[in-house]
Each structure stands twice: as structure tokens, then as C-alpha cells.
A = this chain, B = another copy of it.
Amino acid sequence: MEAWFEEYIVRVEEELAYFFDTYGEYVSKFPFVIKDLLAKIRRYSLAGGKRIRPILTILAYYGYGGKGDKIKQISIVPEILHNYYIIHDDIIDQDHIRRGIPTVHAMYEHEEDSKHHALSMAICAGDFTSHMVNHIIINSEFSNKIKLEVLKLIDITGFRTIIGQVLDVCPEESASWVEEVHTLKTAHYTISNPLKLGAILAGVKKSELKKIERYSMFMGKAFQLQDDILGLFGDEESIGKPIGSDIQQGKMTLLVVKALELASKKDVKFLRACLGKHNLSKKDLIKVRGIITDSGALQYSTNLIDLLLTKSLVELEKLNLNEPQKEQLRKISRFIVGRAH
């Protein structure tokens, strides 16, 4: 990506670090276990990531005419919200690595013998992080009216994300189920929520929020499809987590659903045997990749990504965003579907 994008990332990471520093003061009088918990959440939050969510918030705020610096602290809200969800998501998915470092429950597992204690601490870590979201919004410099609009947005986003998460935990072998999960769990909270947040803070009208949502639904689904491809065909170091973990966890990604629909009986049998197989070998993984490629499932997904990108760019043009933010959003849209991490 270009320099302006890197500048956004630096800015967001500075805000995150500043937030954890100031929040740290609140816990300074408590015993070590509390300070250590916050230090783990901080380490996890600052370990990396695309920072796409706060960048979208800042971009929408200035693109819709927002002024001044008061966006800075509140712009990290979608990132903190994301951390809350993924701390719990890591427990649910039994993921031990994210962003190239141990997940929160894995940090505790490394230190102690008791898996249950590690789990308990990670549940608390997620709950703690969830409370930070409200804390930042309530203590921001915006009017009460705007704060409540923001809280309403987060309420609806949270509702959808958790429903999406439950559907993801109870997967069905259906493309429409997968699309529903992508809409609820990715499109709303990764694209629509951050953009709407910036727009609300800048004071836009409700009709504009609807337009943002239309753009975001296409973009969000494309983002998730690309994420699923990277999770299977990407580079472990770039994406910061083990390749093929979706297969090991038996996740119903569109790649898998389509391969089960399109592949030969023999390949389907092999693929089914790999889904949820905890000791998936490198050889298994290569064969799974082959099945997903040869069946046409990969091509189906990349075609769909192209279609979604095209549709999202049409919707993007309808937004009343100022340039240069509109141009930045075009570039981010293309980056999201073309990225390697």
C-alpha cells in the first residue's frame, strides 16, 4: 500500500498505545494479576494487524467533513471491539497464534499448567476489553446526542456480530448460511460499523448511512472471501497464523462448501475426512488445496470477489464522501481484495 496508508497505521497504533497507557493508570492500584492481564491485552492488541477498521473510521470522519482531533481517541473503538470478539473467538476456535504471537488464552497456557485457568483468564480478558468500548465512547468529546447514536450503532453491530458468531459455531453446509455469517460477522462489523462510526461522528444524515451499508455489504463479503483464501493459500508469516486452521477446525468456508458441491466423490470423501482433523499433515493440506483448486471452488470464490468488488465500487461512487478520502476508499477496496495478508 501507499505511504498515506502506512501513516494511518502509525497513527492508529499510537492511539492504541496511548489508550492502554492511560487505561493502565486506572488499574495501577490493583494487584499484579490485574496489571498483567491488561499488559497481555495490550500486547495482543498492538502485535499487528491491518488496522483497517479504525482507518475506515478516520477516513469517513474527515471525508464527511469532520474537523479537529477529537476523532483520534474514539477512532480505536472498532479495533477494541474487534479485540474483544477475537479474544473470545480464539478460545472458541482453539487458535493459539494470531498476529504472529500467542493468543490471550495461549499466553496463560504458556505460563501455567492449568488449561482451565488459562481459559478463565481469557474469558475475563474478553469481557474486560468489551467494557473498554463503552468507556471510550462515553468519555469522548462528542455531544450526548452523538454519543448515544454511536452507542446505538455499536449495539446493533454487537447484536449482529454475536448472531454471526453463533451461526459460525453451528455451521451448516450451505452457501447461503456462509453468506449470512459473512454479512453478520464480517460485513457489518469490519466495514459498515467503522465507516458509519466516522460518518455519525461527522454528523451525516441517516440516508447516507444506508448508502454506506450498501457499499459495505459487498465490500465486507469480498473481504471475508479473500480472508478465507489467504487462510488456505496464503503465507503463514504474512498472515500471522497457521495455514489451514479453517480446515482443521472444520469451518464451512465458501471454498469448502463449493468444493463439497463440485468435486469428485473420492475427493469429497477425502475433504470430509480432513475437516475437523486436528493432526492435519502438510501432505493432507496440499491435497486439500488441490481439491479446492481443481474442483473450481477457488475460481468460484475469486470470480465472486471480483463481482463483489465491482458492485462495491459502484456503490462507493454514490457516497457523498469528499476527495481525497473517496479516492483512498477506492484504493482500500482494491487493496482489501488483492492483499496477501
The reply on A46 being an interface residue by CB < 8 A is no
The reply on A331 being an interface residue by CB < 8 A is no
Q: Are A116 and B130 in contact (CB under 8 A)?
A: no
The reply on A154 being an interface residue by CB < 8 A is yes
Q: Are B134 and A134 in contact (CB under 8 A)?
A: yes
A172: nearest residue on chain B (CB-CB)? B31
Q: Are B144 and A145 in contact (CB under 8 A)?
A: yes
CA distance A262 to B338 in the complex (A): 68
Within 8 A of B (CB), among A155-175: 155, 158-159, 162-163, 165-167, 169-170, 172
A281 to chain B, nearest CB (A): 22
Q: Are A134 and B162 in contact (CB under 8 A)?
A: no
Contact pattern, A 135-150, Cβ under 8 Å of B = 1, otherwise 0: 1001000001101100
A83 to chain B, nearest CB (A): 13
Contacts of A94 in B (CB 8 A): 116
Q: Are A123 and B159 in contact (CB under 8 A)?
A: no
Q: Which of A37, A128, A162 neighbours the largest number of chain B CB atoms within 10 Å of its CB?
A: A162
Q: Are A127 and B130 in contact (CB under 8 A)?
A: yes
Would you call the interface of chain A mostly helix, strand, loop, or mixed? helix
Q: Are B121 and A134 in contact (CB under 8 A)?
A: no
Q: Are A27 and B155 in contact (CB under 8 A)?
A: no
The reply on A26 being an interface residue by CB < 8 A is yes
Question: CB < 8 Å: which of B34, B134, B177 contacts A167?
Answer: B34
Q: Are A121 and B151 in contact (CB under 8 A)?
A: no
Given contacts A135-B159, A144-B148, A151-B138, contact A165 B124 (CB under 8 A): yes
A86 to chain B, nearest CB (A): 12
Contacts of A110 in B (CB 8 A): none
The reply on A92 being an interface residue by CB < 8 A is yes
Contacts of A26 in B (CB 8 A): 159
Q: Are A135 and B155 in contact (CB under 8 A)?
A: yes
Q: Which range holds the interface residue count of chain A?
A: 35 or more
Question: CB < 8 Å: which of B117, B124, B126, B166 contacts A34?
Answer: B166
Contacts of A135 in B (CB 8 A): 155, 159
CA distance A77 to B31 in the complex (A): 29
Q: Are B166 and A151 in contact (CB under 8 A)?
A: no
Contact pattern, A 169-206, Cβ under 8 Å of B = 1, otherwise 0: 11010000100000000000000000000000000000
Q: Are A131 and B162 in contact (CB under 8 A)?
A: yes
The reply on A30 being an interface residue by CB < 8 A is yes
The reply on A67 being an interface residue by CB < 8 A is no
Contacts of A167 in B (CB 8 A): 30-31, 33-34
Q: Are A155 and B127 in contact (CB under 8 A)?
A: no
A77 to chain B, nearest CB (A): 13
Q: Are A123 and B30 in contact (CB under 8 A)?
A: no
Given contacts A30-B163, A134-B151, contact A127 B170 (CB under 8 A): no
Residues of A within 8 A of B (CB): 26-27, 30-31, 33-34, 37, 88, 91-92, 94, 116-117, 119-121, 123-124, 126-128, 130-131, 134-135, 138, 144-145, 147-148, 151-152, 154-155, 158-159, 162-163, 165-167, 169-170, 172, 177
The 5 closest A-B pairs by CB, nearest first: A92-B120, A144-B144, A131-B158, A33-B170, A128-B162
